[in-house]
Structure 1
Amino acid sequence: MASPLTSSTGLGSGLDITNIVKVLVNADTAAKSNQITRQNANNSAMISGIGSLRSALTAFQDAMKKLNDKDAPSFNAFAGTSANESVVKIKSSNTAVAGSYDIKVGQLATGSKVASQQFAGGASTPISAGEMTISQNGKDYKITVGSGATLQSVRDQINKEMSANGITANIINEAGGSRLVFGSTTTGAGSDISVGGIPELTIDGTQQMSGSGAGFITALAQDAKFSIDGLNLTSASNTVSNAISGISLELTGASPKDSAGNITSGTKVTVAADNEGLKKSVQAFVDAYNTLQKAVTSLTSTSRDSKDKLVLGPLTNDPTTRALLGDVRKVLAETGAGDKLTTLSQLGINTQKDGTLEFNSVKFNAALNDKKLGPEVQELFTGSNGVFERMNKAIDPYNSTGGTLDTRKGNLDKVATNLANQQAALDRRVEMLTTSLTKKYSALDAALGKMQDQAKQITSFFEAINAQKKS
């Protein structure tokens, strides 16, 4: 912006040069200045509105993602409970059947733990160069050990190259020296680790460590042994997903045993319908959608100010926002690919006049209790071509990086830059006109001053002549 005019009065004629110049400059630039101010306000409001809309869309998509978390799945029709989670934990899916089971765990599945021979030199012990072979479950993994290697550098190389395969190594220091110890996340009988190729690091993982020699440390890798209602089973993993249909078991510890090693009691696990859990999940979706709808309404609605003047929202009458809202609302009315449950309305979810969703709990309970639709709720929301998938397909073209709203924001930023350039040019014109007009009116003031001085001299001359005549 140009520097403001300081008050200035003509020394010659007494003209108010400052105000005269200000009025003339304002007359020349006011229209353009008002236009830039108005366009700036509108453009800034649009930028803010687009940002708020994208934030609301992102929050809605994050809420759907959370409800579709594979590690903590929502919309489960059944809930499993365990009487003792230190022995077994349970997760149920929509293919489960209500019931209870008695589970006894004899032993957990374990992984291989093997150690090299002792090295008196500790971590800095030199290791021969060559190709190390680490074998497990019939697979061989090759590691090239370079010259100048030490026990510690070999450990670091193993962890770098083998961690993706679940095999790690560390150095354990004991009284007689240091050992390179291998461990694995793979469990089950037959998964013992063996090492070859480097003479001093050779380990037969099927032989127990003895004295300063190499071998397995405590025991061979083993399967889990457990029973369900008296039926004996084994598993290479402590996570068992195929023993009971629709139920996943996580074995966490052995059942209590007497002095003779016999299990004294089992753990009861129960599977039951979880209508309240389903209702909570559906309500979470309805709440997330309503939050989005209310945010869009606040951006597109109109209001009246204190003078009853109509005030538009930042995105009122915006065609992109209208198209987005139409695409999202279309998903709510579409028919999904389910069997008996294909629409949200079957669960008591309906659109109200203000665009928000109403969740009718009476109709929802009837759908679960009378029509037995509980097992299909998860598929309706999270399945292939489910509500979440179709919602994201509707929103992504607008909210993704490089999408419609991103492009709109970029164009609005260009307009803001252009307006800033126009304002800078207008400021320069104001400064130029102010300087030019000030010079002109200063010159005019000086000329008027001279004319006034001459008029005074003439008047004095004639007054002197008249005075002589009278005398």
Structure 2
Amino acid sequence: MATSISGVGSLSSAGLGSGLDVNSIVASLMAVEARPLDMLKSQAKDLDSQISTFGKLQSFFSVLRDKSNALTSTSLWNGTTATSGDATAVKVTSGAAAAAGSYQVNVSTLAKAQTLTASAAASSTFNEGSITIELGAWTGDPIDTFTAKASSVPVTIDIGAGETSIEAVRDKINGAGAGVIASIVNDASGARLSIRSKDTGLENGFRITTVETVGDADATAGLSALDYDPAGGLTQMTAAQQASNATLTVNGIAISSASNTLVDVVDGLTLNLMKTTASPVDVSVAVDTETVKTKVTEFVTAFNDLANFMRTQMAYNADSKTGGALQGDRAAVSLLNQLRGVINVESSASGTWTRLSEVGISMKGDGTLAIDSTKLGNGLANLPELKKLLATDGADTASSGFIRRFKELADAALGSEGTFENRNASLKEMLSRNGKNQDAYEVRLAQTEARLRRQYTALDATMSQLNGLSSYLGQQLKSLNINTQA
């Protein structure tokens, strides 16, 4: 309702003089005029729903592609699994280069790290000076010969003023990168310094020689208490354990190793020695069919998730008389037909099978896939042919494996020029045009409303004037009638 205040303070309002309900009339007319805008808003809502649904569909296709990639991976079909007859003694893992076979492993000794411990009394405090640590192998019985490790050089550690506490000496040794680790051990006798090789193996033993710049003339105390050089007659530290190699046999072949983890002693096989054995441990390597089965199952799950989503979004509900967001969408219909087409076309990739159903993967009436575990088991028993049927990258569709076809379909749909990019771009363009049309129509509606208000306000004013004139004439006629009768 339009209200205005004149310069002299008089008040006028549409409909007050004539009784004409201008606001209701304009509102009713504008409701009719706004119907095209309401339709545009409804279309925009549908477009938003389609864009969102296509985004979800794209995610389902991405998962399908990932599962297809897993089933066409060379590493999957070359995979092996290794087992040990006694994992507490010999743990085993297989890599890509491992070949199926069986082995017997007998562990005589484990690889060890040299460990030296100082006396508690000697470890309570040290003097200023230097400590030299050199890696190498101790041999002899008793031990009396040291052979320096070819790939290492002696490391000298200076101990200065304020660095003579047991904690400071430990930290200086650990920070020197000398191939050893120092620690403090506390027992009933007190704190003592313990030093061990960082790595196991005979060549990773070490000797320690010291020089005191502030001497105490006592070889059992101060820095000299850390000396360990049996070849030079210095053995102040106690050897709790000497460095040694692991010794074992694999299928009767003698092997020595500086580490308890043996890589590629057998191609693609890693042996982790845990303890010595009284009898050989059987180790076997077999083709990894279980992982292939798992990947097939994951692919079928991904396909079914996609198929169920598409069926729901493309369906029409007769009860509610509403369709899904993708109902009648050409791009979605095309993708669904392509998915079904992958399975319906036979493959010549394998000389044993031509259809997926022959290895236990078949399509049900609702468009999802089902797995026959017995048939799939038979397929897994002939892994080379199953690989051909599923993963072969052929010259054309007919000579390609089924999962390879799914991979290529998903790659194309998800690519830079694929279905999803094109359809999303089209929907977003439609939504943009819709928004512009709404803006233009809202301007038109505002203009229409302003025009109607002017017209009906003018009509209201005219009717008000006529009502006033009618009232005046009525009064005059009434007065005239009274005078005539008199």
Q: Please name the residue that 2:299 is paired with.
A: 285
1:210 aligns with 2:208: yes
Q: Per the alignment, do residues 85 and 70 of structure 1 end up closer, same or farther by CA in structure 2, a change over 3 Å counting? A: farther
Q: CA deviation at 1:273?
A: 7.4
Q: How much does 1:433 deviate?
A: 2.0
- Conserved? CA contact 2:64–2:410, under 8 Å: no
1:409-424 aligned within 5 A: 409-424=424-439
CA distance in 2, matches of 1:210, 1:334: 74
What SS is found at the alignment partner of 1:88?
strand
Match of 1:229 in 2: 251
- Write the deviation string for residues 254-289 of structure 1: whole angstroms up to 9, x where unpaired: 532xxxxxx534433245677666544433332222
Contact 2:82 2:94 in 1 (8 A): yes
1:348 deviates by: 2.0
Corresponding position of 2:382: 373
Aligned partners of 1:427 and 1:416: how far apart in 2?
A: 16
Write the mapping of 1:111-122 to structure 2, written as runs, cut at 5 A: 116-120=155-159
1:439 Cα deviation from its structure 2 partner: 2.6
Q: Is 2:339 the counterpart of 1:328?
A: yes
Q: How far does the alpha carbon of each residue in 1:14-52 deviate from its partner, in whole angstroms, 9 at most, with x for none?
A: 01111211233334342x224313422431232122112
The letter for the 2-side match of 1:37 is K
Mapping for residues 301-380 of structure 1, pairs under 5 Å: 301-306=315-320, 309=321, 311-332=322-343, 333-335=345-347, 337-338=349-350, 340=352, 343-367=355-379, 372-374=381-383, 376-378=385-387, 380=389
Unaligned runs of 5+ in 1: 123-171, 184-191, 194-204, 257-262
Q: Aligned partners of 2:244 and 2:389: how far apart in 1?
A: 41
Shift of 1:222: 9.8
Q: Which amino acid aligns with 1:84?
A: A
19 and 76 in structure 1: CA distance in 2 versus 1, 3 angstrom threshold: same
For residues 207 and 276 of structure 1, the distance between their equivalents in structure 2, rounded to whole angstroms, comes to: 44
Q: Tell me the amino acid that sits aligned with residue 394 of structure 1.
A: L
Checking the alignment, whether the CA contact within 8 Å between 2:106 and 2:280 is kept in structure 1 is: yes
The 1:109/1:464 distance shift into structure 2, 3 A limit, reads: farther
Q: In 2, distance between residues paired with 1:289 and 1:222? A: 56
Asked if the contact 1:88/1:249 (under 8 Å) is kept, the reply is: no
Matched position secondary structure for 1:252? strand
The equivalent of 2:29 in structure 1 is 24
SS of structure 1 residue aligned to 2:325: coil
Deviation string for 1:194-230 (max 9, x for gaps)? xxxxxxxxxxx999563369xxxx99x9987542232
Identical residues among aligned pairs (%): 25
- Residue type at the aligned position of 2:37: S
Change (3 A) 1:304 1:402: same
Contact (CA 8 Å) 1:68, 1:382: kept in 2 or not?
A: yes
* Superposition deviation, residue 13 in structure 1: 0.7
The residue matched to 1:90 in structure 2 has which SS?
strand
CA distance in 2, matches of 1:328, 1:223: 59
Query: What code does the residue aligned with 1:60 have?
Result: L
Look up the SS of the partner of 1:181 in the other structure.
coil
Moved more, 327-336 or 13-22: 327-336
Give the drift of 1:453: 0.9
Question: In the superposition, relative to structure 1, how do residues 288 and 227 fare at CA in structure 2: closer, same or farther (>3 Å)?
Answer: farther
Could you tell me how far 1:425 is from its partner in structure 2?
A: 2.4
1:299 and 1:314 in contact (8 A); partners too: yes
Instruction: Pick closer, same or farther for the CA change 1:96–1:380 going to 2, 3 Å.
Output: farther
Q: 1:231 to 1:207 in 2, by over 3 A?
A: closer
Q: CA 1:91–1:381 in 2, change beyond 3 Å: closer, same or farther?
A: farther
Q: Is 1:83–2:86 an aligned residue pair?
A: yes
1:321 deviates by 2.4
1:444-459 equivalences in 2 (<5 Å): 444-459=459-474
Q: Is the 8 A contact 1:76 1:92 kept in 2?
A: yes
Match of 1:51 in 2: 55
Question: Within 2, Cα distance between the matches of 1:351 and 1:63?
Answer: 18
Q: Give 1:241 shift.
A: 4.4
Segment of structure 1 superposing worse, 461-470 or 227-236: 227-236
Change (3 A) 1:343 1:180: farther
2:300·2:369 contact (CA, 8 Å) conserved in 1? yes
For residues 305-337 of structure 1, give each alpha carbon's deviation from its aligned partner in whole angstroms, at most 9, with x where no partner exists: 34xx3x332223333223333443444445364
For 2:418 and 2:154, the matched residues in 1 are separated by 56
Corresponding residue for residue 10 of structure 1: 15
Contact kept in structure 2, 1:118 and 1:176, CA below 8 Å? yes
SS in 1 for 2:254: strand
The change in CA–CA distance for 1:35 and 1:14 in structure 2 (over 3 A counts) is same
What root-mean-square deviation, in Å, do the aligned CA atoms of Structure 1 and Structure 2 show? 4.5
Structure 2 residue aligned with 1:243: 266
Question: TM-score of the superposition, structure 1-length normalised?
Answer: 0.65
- Paired AA for residue 364 in structure 1: L
TM-score by length of 2: 0.63
2:347·2:402 contact (CA, 8 Å) conserved in 1?
no
Aligned residues: 378
Equivalent in 273, 282, 305 of residue 253 of structure 1: 273
Maintained 8 Å contact 2:85/2:283 = yes
* Counterpart among 61, 64, 86 of residue 60 in structure 1: 64
1:460 CA drift (Å) = 1.0
Determine if contact 1:50/1:409 at 8 Å carries over to the other structure. Answer: yes
- The separation in 2 between residues aligned to 1:389 and 1:225, in whole angstroms, is 48
The match for 2:457 is: 442
For residues 173 and 280 of structure 1, the distance between their equivalents in structure 2, rounded to whole angstroms, comes to: 55
Aligned-partner Cα distance in 1 for 2:266–2:159 = 49
SS of the residue aligned with 2:347?
coil
Q: Is the 8 A contact 1:105 1:254 kept in 2?
A: no
Alpha carbons 1:101, 1:268 under 8 Å: kept: yes
Q: Which has the larger radius of gyration?
A: 2
Contact persistence 1:336–1:343 (CA under 8 A): no
Q: Quote the Cα distance in structure 2 between the aligned partners of 1:89 and 1:68.
A: 27
- 8 A contact 1:324–1:395 mirrored in 2: no
Which of residues 446, 460, 464 in structure 2 aligns to 1:431?
446
Name the aligned partner's letter for residue 83 of structure 1.
D
Change in CA separation of 1:251 and 1:440 when aligned onto 2, cut-off 3 Å: same
State the AA in 2 paired with 1:90: T
Q: Given the superposition, is the C-alpha separation of residues 212 and 383 from structure 1 closer, same or farther in structure 2, using an over 3 Å criterion?
A: farther
Structure 1 position 383, deviation (Å)? 6.4
Give the C-alpha shift of residue 405 in structure 1: 0.6
Looking at structure 2, the residues matched to 178 and 280 of structure 1 have their Cα atoms a distance apart, in angstroms, of: 47
